[in-house]
Amino acid sequence: MNILLQLALSFARAGLFTFGSGYAMLALIEREVVGRSGWLTPSQFADLVAVAEVTPGPLTINIATFVGYRLAGFAGACAATLGLIVAPMAALIVIAHYYGSMRDLPAVDLAFRALRPVVTALILYAVFRLGRTSITDWRTIVLFACAFAALSMRMHPLWVAVGGTAAGMVLLTIAR
């Protein structure tokens, strides 16, 4: 199968069959690009998520664009990004069209309330999978703990990313 079609279909599956935020999509995207297709290793995927997180724009779109570009250049970036966006956007248009007339139905309310813990589980699963490849020794545990503490004290994520990267480079260089 053509790589452009593979990229589009892989990211369409991730976009269409995942509910919630970009973080909830991470587990399915990882399954597509690491497990199913073998385009990236788990470590490469963790690095890509880190880069996509600090790059302006939505996390999953950045990931799709980066993976597509890495595999097939500009055309691959377009195929993966469109694959991720088109299917969920079509579903969203259909849902939005009918939501107004159905939003007061008890079944709709129950469905949305049931989705919340499922989406939370998807996000936690992605965090667990990324953590296994990112938090590997005492230095990375210290970086994680400091970043988590800073975020818990409401420090701006940009400063946590910049400061954590700088501190991590020093810590990882000195500790070798």
Average pLDDT over residues 116-124: 84
Average pLDDT over residues 154-161: 90
Q: Tell me how far apart the alpha carbons of residues 30 and 32 are, in angstroms, rounded to a whole number.
A: 5
Residues 62 and 75 in one domain: yes
Residues 97 and 111 in one domain: yes
Please state, in angstroms and as integers, the Cα–Cα distance from residue 149 to each residue in 69, 93, 154, following that order: 35, 40, 9
**Is 89's pLDDT higher than 70?**
yes
Residues 109 and 164 in one domain: no
Q: Over the stretch 19-54, which tens digit does the pLDDT of each residue have?
A: 666 777 888 899 899 999 999 999 899 889 888 888
Residue 154 is part of which domain span? 137-176
Q: How many domains does the chain have?
A: 2
Residues 124 and 141 in one domain: no
Residues 42 and 72 in one domain: yes
Residues 96 and 141 in one domain: no
Residues 28 and 41 in one domain: yes
Decide: pTM greater than 0.95: no
Residues 145 and 123 in one domain: no
Question: 3-state secondary structure string, 49-85?
Answer: HHHHHHCCCCHHHHHHHHHHHHHHHHHHHHHHHHHHH
Residues 94 and 38 in one domain: yes
Residues 75 and 153 in one domain: no
